[in-house]
């Protein structure tokens, strides 16, 4: 069994694979102060209710954009799963040519999404990952990771409106009933939702103009379903894209 972990700024997404099949997944908060023992016990306890055996874990692959917890997670995998974790990085064989000016600057999650987007949907494609930030990862027809864009995430926008103003409340992100809000909460939800959709579609329109009309736009991440409903360009929502990309990279580096 492969254990795939995607460590992001807000959450760690974990998937258990039997071969190419994702049999279970979990989402945990990214807690910098968590010890290796706490991570290890937590992961083991996740296995029991779904009937998985931690002893069956034969490989662990990690993509992380949170360097302070990397050594803790690596120690945890050795101590609790008796396995040396593999970390995705710019020198990992991923099946894409990285065309970033400095490959060391590319987030591991962006590379993983590029792999899954290209090998599941073909190129050219652009993957929009709605997490703490909104990442746009662009892959050419020939399997080149060209780069992309990084924008402010929806959660950050909500927190900023609340913390940087005197009277605006903390609101839930959801599609508003009308673009014209008739109270403060509705007005904020309109601005947040249509602002995010407009920004995403604006960037996608330019990427598609650059790569051609056959470019596929795929959404993943926390608010993907909400945003895709209002977008002119996001035709596919794939919530398991990052985990499946990790499985593809593991398979490429560990051929049977």
> What is the arrangement of strands in the sheet containing 86-87, beginning at the earlier edge strand?
21-29, 11-18, 2-7, 59-64, 86-87
Angle between helices 241-253 and 108-121 (to 10 degrees): 90
Contacts of 235 (CB under 8 A, 6+ apart): 216, 217, 218
User: Which of the following is catalytic: 6, 53, 101, 109?
Assistant: 109
Give catalytic status of residue 6 as yes or no: no
What is the distance between the terminal CA atoms of the chain, rounded to a whole angstrom? 13
Q: Tell me the catalytic residues.
A: 109
């Amino acid at each position: 069994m492969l254990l795939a972990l995607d460590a992001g700024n807000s959450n760690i997404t974990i998937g258990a694979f039997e071969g190419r099949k994702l049999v279970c997944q979990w989402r945990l908060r990214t807690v910098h102060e968590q010890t290796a023992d706490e991570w290890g016990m937590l992961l083991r306890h996740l296995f029991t209710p779904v009937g998985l055996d931690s002893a069956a874990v034969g490989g662990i692959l990690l993509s992380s954009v949170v360097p302070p917890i990397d050594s803790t997670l690596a120690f945890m995998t050795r101590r609790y799963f008796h396995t040396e974790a593999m970390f995705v990085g710019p020198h990992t064989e991923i099946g894409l040519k990285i065309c970033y000016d400095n490959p060391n600057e590319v987030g591991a999650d962006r590379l993983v999404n590029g792999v899954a987007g290209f090998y599941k949907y073909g190129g050219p494609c652009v993957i929009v990952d709605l997490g703490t930030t909104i990442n746009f990862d662009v892959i050419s027809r020939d399997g080149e990771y060209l780069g992309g864009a990084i924008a402010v995430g929806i959660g950050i926008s909500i927190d900023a409106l609340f913390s940087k103003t005197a009277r605006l409340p903390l609101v839930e992100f959801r599609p508003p009933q009308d673009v014209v809000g008739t109270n403060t909460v509705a007005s904020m939800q309109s601005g947040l939702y249509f602002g995010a959709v407009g920004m995403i579609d604006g960037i996608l329109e330019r990427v598609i103009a650059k790569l051609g009309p056959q470019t596929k736009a795929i959404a993943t991440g926390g608010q993907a379903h909400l945003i895709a409903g209002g977008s002119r360009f996001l035709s596919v929502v794939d919530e398991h894209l990052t985990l499946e990309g990790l499985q593809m990279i593991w398979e490429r580096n560990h051929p049977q």
